[in-house]
Chain A
């Protein structure tokens, strides 16, 4: 189904932020903002929730920690206990201090890579993906606000345009997608 989308372009992040505040207070739903750098404070205004990637990183870290602990226990204690300088090799606990560096490194390895891979997948930013920003200038110095008509049934397209023009846009574009 074709959908009408209005792209409002700004040339300043603060103008966009104040405009978004005004629009949201009037009940307009802003579906997306494209910007060349993170605009601090825009997320609560347009209703973007704080990401949960941090929790994922913690879980990946725990997985790494567990794998490293069990791995080293298996390699060094169960499978092939080595006598190194007569140091005890009968139980994991007796030998644990020597395993701490690798446990730490492996935890970091899993947490960092797990989170990075999850980040790329949930963003759908992967090699070969097409760019989706509505205007190439949004990665340079322009900021674009996307308003969908289907999400703002209370307003007509011309209403929205009038309201948007009020917020200091520099360009207004309407597209059917």
Chain B
């Protein structure tokens, strides 16, 4: 078995057994939902429904209800689209890229990050569809035989590339996520007592039995899907950036866009994962699985991608001057000093300055600080897209048509509504789905679990005996909420105060 260095922090704190893992993950699903869940769900649903109302009003009235004008034909809609797609990048990055790199810490966060990805891409997909004005004709973006002569969609257009990229990304992420979920649904199915939930989870688990051959296939399918999804992650946001980069608008047609957008997407995606997981681990008592080390790893990713984004901003500025193209130069000068300077300043502060604070170990291991920064980063990334889109458009070649963009309440309603819907979906996920990848967590328990990791390095059999002994001593300990919170408390103290590992 793969042995990890003792100096490495364990990924699973406390003296967990396989059964404890099942209990910890399934308990929130099997118990009654706490009152806070209902309150949060209610709030999210109301906001989401308000958004749906705004969308229906928009569809009934026309895109004119947005604050667009003839100069600024793209504003909040595409800003929100790119923002959501960007957020949707963390999940597949965590599950695919980190799988290829054999990063074990991904196993605690990949399930919920992928769920987040899927819901975020749903929200993203909504914007181009409602921007069409006639939502029900959305299928016209596909190359279908039609009655308008044999007029096909334009395969030279980045907008069509987007259609293929986003739909491939969404469906492949969904499949990847669900294939991982099947064995975990089987665990819940085999524990379920109530007939309705038994029935539901047996439907969802597709009759999974955990045969050796099936696990063999499972591992290969995960690996190949990860291999396929990795270039997919990078291609999707590159293609989204082509929407701008292949145009002729100063401020948009820059070759730096694809890598810069991908880094920005990972940056904002990880920030959103942090926002969600910091709350989730507390609310669902998963502190032993998602702890400071995981948060720190994610903060390092945020720091690196944030620095790439910062470098890209500065490169863009430099090149706009160095190119000697006056339109290009003006576009950037106007961004920084024109009427939208405040958006530019917000973007620079949130995206360039704030991730640099993660260089301090104390800060990147502070959960409260991380939570604040994760929200700041997502605000910053929204402003980045707003700056790129609106400030490049609002002063075009003809000064008589220069204008400003003012969002209407429908603009705001649709945007806030998608946030509501996103949280509605995520809360439903947290309530009914296993939020940790049970089978994966169990497979790393022996190499990265606290009680196994620092057991004396002996032959496997001894390891096993140790495990048996452990279970005997721990199993009688009741799995009441009190006991488990004790567990996690000690876990937290341990990892906040020192790095030395307590021996079992």
A positions within 8 Å CB-CB of B: 11-12, 14-15, 17-18, 32-40, 42-43, 46, 48, 50-51, 53-54, 57, 71-72, 75-76, 79-80, 82, 84, 87, 95, 98-99, 101-102, 104-106, 108-109, 111-113, 115-116, 119-120, 122-133, 136-141, 168
**Residues on the B chain within 8 Å of A113, using CB:** 171-172, 175
Nearest chain A CB to B445's CB is how many angstroms away? 9
Extra contacts besides A116-B179, A139-B190 (5): CB < 8 Å: A36-B438, A43-B216, A53-B220, A104-B231, A126-B207
Which parts of B216-240 form the interface with A (CB within 8 Å)? Answer: 216-221, 224-225, 228-229, 231-232, 235, 239
6 pairs, A vs B, C-beta closer than 8 Å: A34-B210, A105-B164, A112-B229, A115-B224, A123-B214, A141-B442
In the complex, what residue of chain A is closest to B441 when comparing beta carbons?
A37
Q: Bound state CA distance, A108 and B218, in angstroms?
A: 19
The interface residues of chain A, by DSSP majority, are classed as helix
Chain A residues with Cβ below 8 Å from B218 are 38, 119
Cα–Cα, bound, A72→B218 (Å): 34
Within 8 A of A (CB), among B129-173: 143, 149-156, 158, 160-161, 164-165, 167-168, 171-172
A108: which B residues are within 8 A, CB to CB? 168, 172, 228-229, 231-232
In the complex the two chains form, is B220's CB within 8 Å of A51's CB?
A: yes
Question: A141: which of B17, B189, B202, B212 is its contact (CB, 8 Å)?
Answer: B17
**What is the interface of chain B mostly: helix, strand, loop, or mixed?**
helix
User: Is B461 an interface position by the 8 A CB rule?
Assistant: yes
Kindly name the residue among A57, A111, A116 whose own CB sees the greatest number of chain B CB atoms within 10 A: A116
Q: Which of B161-216 contact A (CB under 8 A)?
A: 161, 164-165, 167-168, 171-172, 175-176, 179, 182-183, 186-187, 189-191, 202-203, 205-216
Instruction: Closest B residue to A125 by CB, please name it.
Output: B206
A38-B214 Cα distance, complex, nearest whole Å: 9
User: Quick check: B211 and A72 within 8 Å, CB to CB?
Assistant: no
Check B155–A105 contact: CB distance below 8 A.
no
Given contact pairs A48-B216, A105-B235, A116-B179, A131 touches B208 in the complex (Cβ within 8 A): yes
Query: With A36-B439, A131-B202 as given contacts, are A48 and B151 in contact (CB-CB < 8 Å)?
Result: no
**B22 at the binding interface (Cβ < 8 Å):** yes
CA gap between A136 and B218 in the complex, in Å: 20
Closest-CB distance, A76 to chain B (whole angstroms): 5
Q: Note all chain A residues with C-beta closer than 8 A to B209.
A: 34, 131-133, 138
Contacts of A130 in B (CB 8 A): 202, 207
Given A80-B151, A109-B168, A129-B207, A98–B224 Cβ distance below 8 Å?
A: no
Task: Determine which of B151, B207, B224 lies in contact with A124 in the assembled complex, contact meaning CB atoms within 8 Å.
Answer: B207
**Across chains A and B, which 5 residue pairs bring their CB atoms closest together, nearest first?**
A129-B207, A141-B18, A136-B190, A38-B215, A125-B206
Complex-state Cα separation, A48 to B154, whole angstroms:
49
Query: Given A129-B207, A131-B186, A80 and B150 touching (CB < 8 A)?
Result: yes
Chain B residues in 8 Å Cβ range of A95: 156
Given A105-B165, A141-B18, does the pair A125, B182 have CB atoms closer than 8 Å? yes
B161 near A116 with CB under 8 A, answer no
How many residue pairs bridge A and B at CB < 8 Å? 219
Contact B221 A32 (CB under 8 A): no
Is the CB–CB distance between B189 and A131 below 8 Å? yes
B463 interface residue (CB < 8 Å to A): yes
Contacts of B229 in A (CB 8 A): 108, 112
**Does B467 count as interface, using CB distance less than 8 angstroms?**
yes
Judge whether B175 and A116 touch: CB under 8 Å: yes
Q: Are A38 and B471 in touch, CB under 8 angstroms?
A: no
Which of B161, B171, B189, B219 meets A38, CB within 8 Å?
B219
| B-side contacts of A18, CB under 8 Å | 460-461, 464
Q: How far, in Å, is A48 (CB) from chain B's closest CB?
A: 5
Residues of B within 8 A of A48 (CB): 212-213, 216
Let me know if B206 and A140 touch, CB within 8 A.
no
B207 touches A53 (CB 8 A): no
Most chain B beta carbons < 10 A, residue from A38, A98, A99, A115: A38
Query: Which residues of chain A have C-beta atoms less than 8 A from B150's C-beta?
Result: 79-80
A173 to chain B, nearest CB (A): 16
Q: A38 to chain B: which residues have CB within 8 Å?
A: 215-216, 218-219, 439, 443
Query: B468 contacts the other chain (Cβ, under 8 Å)?
Result: yes
Which residues of chain B are near A50, meaning CB under 8 Å? Answer: 216, 220
Q: B19 within 8 Å of A by Cβ?
A: yes
B438: chain A residues at CB < 8 Å are 36-37
- Known contacts: A43-B212, A115-B225, A116-B179. The answer to whether A36 contacts B187 by CB under 8 A is yes
- Taking the complex as formed, is B489 at the interface, i.e. its CB lies under 8 A from any CB of chain A? no
B373 to chain A, nearest CB (A): 33
Output the nearest chain A residue to B156 by Cβ-Cβ distance.
Answer: A98
> Shortest distance in angstroms between B167's beta carbon and chain A's nearest beta carbon?
8
- Contact (Cβ within 8 A) B19 A141: yes
The answer on a CB contact under 8 Å between A101 and B215 is no
What's the minimum C-beta distance from B169 to chain A, rounded to whole angstroms? 8
| Closest chain B residue to A146, Cβ basis | B211
- B495 at interface, CB cutoff 8 A: no
Task: Please encode chain B, from 431 to 446, with 1 for each CB lying within 8 Å of some chain A CB and 0 for all others.
Answer: 0000000111011001
Q: Are A36 and B210 in contact (CB under 8 A)?
A: yes
Give Cα A117 to B460, complex, Å: 37
User: A84 contacts which of B156, B186, B214, B471 (Cβ < 8 Å)?
Assistant: B156
Contacts of A42 in B (CB 8 A): 212
